[in-house]
Chain A
Amino acid sequence: MSKKIITPVASLAHILPEDYRDLVEKGPHGKSVGIKDLGSFKEITEEHPHCAGCGVSLGVRLALAALPAPEDTLVVGTPGCSFFALSQTAVNYSNTAFGNQNSVASGLKRMLSIRYPDKDKDVVVMAGDGGIADIGLDMTLHSWFRGEKISTIMLDNEVYGNTGGQESGMSPEGQVLHMAPKGKNFKKIPVFEMARTAGCVYGARVTIASPKRLGRAVNRAILLARELGPTYVQIYTPCPTNMKFSPADTIRIAKEAGSTHYAFEEFMTEEAALRIAVMEGEQGKIQD
């Protein structure tokens, strides 16, 4: 949307909430800002009710800061911890039923392509591991098989956080959790590997301990989805409340995971690699 649409007329500006006016005056809409600029612009996410030290809230914040065009980005999710931050954002957010996010996003993206044929409307799925890898796995995979031009971002806290700490398909093997009283007896679902097989043109596995990498991955995923097809970013967002570590240790835990089971990995098709080279070359020139 154009900045003009959201700008209030001067005589009515004073009745709008301060955070709205801030967003109009100092928000990221229409600007080229990213994670490195956090703190210098009005963020598009407001205060959230997440637990202290929540990895998901940081993951949402970083991903939102990396959106290439927040003024034309629609986010689709599913009920769960991610909802609490995503419902506080200045981009349109919808969460409807359980696990259906990639189907809703498919219909939405196609309709927006019909209604705005000359404009890029970025449809981004942002949901947790339960929504993407368990209850919605069929719809996740089918949106990839169909080649839908949407980006899927998993906020992987390896547990059902909002419902009180139950085992998810993404929980590590052996982890004792609710509904896994003797420890989880199978491995993490290899969604990242499945993304490549199922037709994603780009995928990245990152943790919240590497904000720069995370931002680059989200940015690439969304820009590539516009032109080439489905993309996937899997972000490790550890949960102190249910995994029973101190809220002060979230980044340390994420960092350790980054050198063990959550090592950074990226894949892309040849076409995507060429496109990235062009895009980032252009960006480099602009920055120079």
Chain B
Amino acid sequence: MCSEKKKNRDTIAELLHGLRNKAFITGSEAVAEAVKRANVDMAIAYPITPQSESMHLVGELFAKGHIKDYYRAENEFAVMAAVHGAALGGGRVFTATSGPGTLRAMEMFPVWAGARQPIVCAFMCRGVSLPPSIQPENIEMGMLLDTGMLMLHAENGQDFFDMILQAYLVAEQPDVHLPVGVFADGFFVTHTREEMLLPPEDCCLPPYDPGFAPVPVFDMETPPMRITRDPLLNKSNFISGNANASWHQEVLAAAERARKHIAHFMGGLLEVENPGAKIFIAASGTAVSQSREALRMMQAEGMDVGLIKIKSIRPFPGSELSKALEAADLVVVPEFNAGGWLAREIRATIDRNHRVIGAPRVFGGMTMPPWLIVEEVKKALGAGQSRGGC
């Protein structure tokens, strides 16, 4: 339980950088461990197939008194609506979903962002129908890129734990106050047990203070009382059109302002390994782990290859990528989805984007053996050499 004594002093540095103990747990358990330390007021759950066990574990936290209220709602859309209502009421909330659940709840994500709710939601990415799939892949992330929500992509269980806590810190900054989705590739992260480092249980985030919100709390305690908490939804006319447009601009601007907080709490929007290389693999999520192995294999062969781990998908590290890839000749982007949204994002960001190879792509539950990535790098180099020879 979050100790009252610690609640009252600034435990953020202690939580992020203080002493930690080893734990051998799954990604789903890491979610519950993060929620336990996040001083969450209320969590709401729905077990759509596929759900991870994380929300069961969060329910156990409620039973033990770590969370003040918790219930199982009737569907994912209802869950996202109810956490929205709870956040309107001025408290800290949490929920989790995946794949088809994400799509069913889709209408609420832009509402969260538009209402400037600092909701944190974990997404245990899975395939979407049709054909039905409960397998790991992250196509749903490509569908959420323009909801206004901030998006962080965890490589492993440790990231998942850390990013949930960091997400609250970024989300609740008064100049941000936006929802944050923390994404992990289902099964690979959620169902895999790994050694993680966790701060002590009583080391928690300070409680959420709605008084710092840039929008009025919906509790009839904030003057003036005439508050419609939502942007105008009226017939098309100049005033309501402009009001809506400027509101959207502010949501986008708030996401931009999140960059400095992500840099502060997470050490940057991306990480670069071997920055002097001419060949790079750029990836997010578990594709980063597979890329690390591919990197090792190639380096053992004497190849000079670098790796870029993209942690923040929204905001997207455009200028950081451009800088890191300035001298690169080749950027290979392996992904766990058929759409290739990360390769598209990178192509849209850097110049000379013919350097970007959007491969390999695996989906439907397929794994991504490192040699598959090595093969794509070699294939691209071969093609480049033959082009160069002409």
Contacts and interface: CB of A to CB of B under 8 A. Distances in A.
Interface of A: 1, 5-6, 16, 20, 23, 29, 71-74, 76, 79, 83-84, 87, 89-98, 100, 103-116, 121, 138-139, 142, 146
Given A6-B225, A94-B230, A104-B84, A142 B73 contact: yes
Contacts of A87: 228
B85 A111 contact: yes
B107 A98 contact: yes
A90 B90 CA distance: 19
B220 A94 contact: no
B78 A100 contact: yes
B89 interface: yes
Contacts of B81: 96-97, 100, 103-104, 107, 139
Nearest to A146: B71
Which 10 residue pairs of A and B lie closest in terms of their CB atoms, listed nearest first?
A107-B85, A111-B89, A107-B86, A100-B81, A104-B85, A107-B82, A103-B81, A108-B85, A142-B74, A111-B86
Contacts of A5: 221-223
Contact of B219 (A97, A100, A116): A116
Given A97-B107, A142-B73, A1 B221 contact: yes
Interface of B: 41-42, 44, 68-69, 71, 73-75, 77-79, 81-91, 93, 107-108, 111, 115, 216, 218-230, 233-234
Nearest to B221: A1
Contacts of A108: 85-86, 88-89, 218
Nearest to A93: B228
B91 A104 contact: no
Contact of B84 (A93, A96, A138): A96
B88 A94 contact: yes
A97 B220 contact: no
Contacts of B218: 74, 92, 94, 108
Contacts of B90: 111, 115
Given A100-B108, A114-B41, A1 B78 contact: no
A110 B88 CA distance: 11
Contacts of B68: 114
Given A6-B224, A100-B78, A103-B78, A114 B85 contact: no
Given A16-B224, A107-B42, A139-B81, 4 more contacts: A76-B85, A92-B229, A111-B93, A114-B91
A139 B74 contact: yes
Contacts of B41: 111, 114
A288 B275 CA distance: 84
A1 B224 CA distance: 11
A96 B220 contact: no
A181 to B, nearest CB: 26
Contacts of B83: 107
Given A97-B81, A104-B84, A107-B42, A112 B219 contact: yes
A115 B219 contact: yes
B85 A121 contact: no
A107 B228 contact: no
Contacts of A146: 71
B228 A94 contact: yes
Interface hub of A74, A92, A106, A121 (most chain B Cβ within 10 A): A92
Contact of B230 (A71, A72, A91, A95): A95
Contact of A142 (B78, B84, B87, B91): B78
B219 A121 contact: yes
Contacts of A29: 225
A79 B235 CA distance: 12
Contacts of A111: 41-42, 69, 85-91, 93
A110 B107 contact: no
A6 B82 CA distance: 29
A96 B75 contact: no
B227 A92 contact: yes
A97 B87 CA distance: 15
A110 B44 CA distance: 11
Most buried by A among B216, B224, B225, B230: B225
Given A72-B220, A142-B73, A89 B85 contact: no
Nearest to B109: A97
Contacts of B84: 96, 100, 104, 107
A138 B85 contact: no
Given A107-B86, A115-B89, A90 B225 contact: yes
A96 B225 contact: no
A89 B88 CA distance: 18
24 contacts: A5-B223, A23-B225, A23-B226, A29-B225, A92-B219, A92-B228, A93-B227, A93-B228, A95-B228, A96-B84, A96-B115, A98-B107, A103-B82, A106-B73, A106-B85, A107-B86, A108-B85, A111-B42, A113-B69, A114-B41, A114-B89, A114-B91, A115-B219, A142-B73
Most chain A beta-carbon neighbours within 10 Å: one of B87, B219, B220, B223: B220
Contacts of B216: 92
Contacts of A89: 226
A6 B223 contact: yes
B88 A104 contact: yes
Contacts of A106: 73, 82, 85
A6 B220 CA distance: 10
Contacts of A103: 73, 77-79, 81-82, 85
B108 A97 contact: yes
A76 B86 CA distance: 12
Contacts of B78: 100, 103, 138-139, 142
